[in-house]
Amino acid sequence: MSIARLIAPLTLLALQGCAGIQSALEPTGAEAERINVLTWLLIFFSAAVFLGVCAITAAALFGGDALRERISGERLVIGGGLLFPILVLSLLLSYGFYLMGAGSPVAHSDSRLRIEVEGKRWWWRVTYVDENGRRIESANEIRLPVGQPVEIELTSADVIHSFWVPKLAGKLDMIPGRTNRMTLHVTQAGISRGQCAEYCGGPHALMAFFVIAMPEREFAAWLEREAADAALPPTDAEAVNGQALFQSSGCVACHRIRGTVAQGTIGPDLTHVGSRHSIAAATLENDPAAFARWIRDSQHVKPENLMPSFEIFTASELRQLAAYMDQLR
């Protein structure tokens, strides 16, 4: 196979990574937009310097004696080797500092909404704290209002994780015993994907989440729905049986479903789990088949997570549990 035939698909594969819901090169957040400018600036400068060095090397190798004489002079060494890098690197550093300053967290007082995100092995506890101090718990998904800077408070319950939504902002570590703050300021409605960016154990790669940016009024309405208890009772017979199973099988010891007897806090809050974009921290689609698979086989889907695989359930019991989960919207 010729080199070109090998390189072409690899290049396409690499460029594929530049597009889509997790691309820092397609920013939809204020900080990511600044990072994007800096990225292209660095690429442009680096490319220019690289081409310059290539040209001088080529001249040294293949040029005549007169040309060689000229490029080995003291002036080029001092100018090109000392003054030019000092000037260019100082300019880039100053611009970098300027951009970092522009991205500093919003003050507590002018943030109307705050979101606490706690990193767990291997999922995210998400708590919305509104202007009245009301706390609304959710998991593995963050909804944000477009055009409104929101303060994000990052903590960890166990090991170091790192919070990164490339389309929206730079990454920030989540460190046990410490609270790190950042601001997410989404500029466009849409879905982006975040990923834990610090190796935190076997299923680290399966610790992701979706960020759903919505127009401000839509977001306010959503937050009210999210704050409400789970609608009761489930409407179809399968879901009713599923709820009974959920409450008698130990699920309630780890999961909370507000408005029911399920008040566990070890695992994710499932009050409105059916309305989320994905389940198991962006590992599975959100549909009844995925719920059934997760309940039966969670140690296979995400080894070592705290939830055991419940192989005791029959196929029809799994269907009932999945139906109950699915209608929690």
Q: Does 302 interact with ligand CUA (rule: CB under 6 A)?
A: no
Q: Does 279 interact with ligand CUA (rule: CB under 6 A)?
A: no
Q: Does 139 interact with ligand CUA (rule: CB under 6 A)?
A: no
Given 125, 161, 272, 302, the residue binding ligand CUA (CB under 6 A): 161
Residue 16 corresponds to which tokens in the numbers above?
């594929």
Q: Does 196 interact with ligand CUA (rule: CB under 6 A)?
A: yes
Q: Which stretch binds ligand CUA (CB under 6 A): 25-33, 177-185, 197-205, 248-256?
A: 197-205
174-180 contacts at long range (C-beta below 8 A, 24 or more positions apart): 174/117, 174/118, 174/119, 174/198, 179/153, 179/154, 179/155, 180/153, 180/154, 180/155
Number of residues that bind ligand CUA (CB under 6 A): 9
Q: How far apart are CA 124 and CA 141, in angstroms?
A: 8
Q: Which stretch binds ligand CUA (CB under 6 A): 35-43, 138-146, 196-204, 290-298?
A: 196-204
Q: Does 296 interact with ligand CUA (rule: CB under 6 A)?
A: no
Give the shortest CB-241-to-ligand CUA separation in angstroms.
36
- Dihedral sign, CA of 135, 138, 143, 149? positive
Q: Which stretch binds ligand CUA (CB under 6 A): 133-141, 198-206, 251-259, 273-281?
A: 198-206
Given 204, 272, 296, 319, the residue binding ligand CUA (CB under 6 A): 204
3-state secondary structure of 234: coil
The rounded Cα 163 to chain-centroid distance in angstroms is 6
Given 40, 50, 98, 199, the residue binding ligand CUA (CB under 6 A): 199
Residue 247 corresponds to which tokens in the numbers above?
């409450």
Q: Does 200 interact with ligand CUA (rule: CB under 6 A)?
A: yes
Which residue type sits at 167?
K
Residue 317 corresponds to which tokens in the numbers above?
């019991």
Residue 141 corresponds to which tokens in the numbers above?
């998904």
Nearest residue to 325 via CA among 281, 283, 276, 284: 276
Nearest residue to 146 via CA among 182, 191, 188: 188
Q: How far apart are CA 187 and CA 146, in angstroms?
A: 6
Q: Does 207 interact with ligand CUA (rule: CB under 6 A)?
A: yes
Q: 């059916």: which residue's tokens?
A: 274
Between 196 and 230, CB nearer to ligand CUA: 196
Between 40 and 199, CB nearer to ligand CUA: 199
List contacts with ligand CUA (CB under 6 A). 119, 122, 161, 196, 198-200, 204, 207
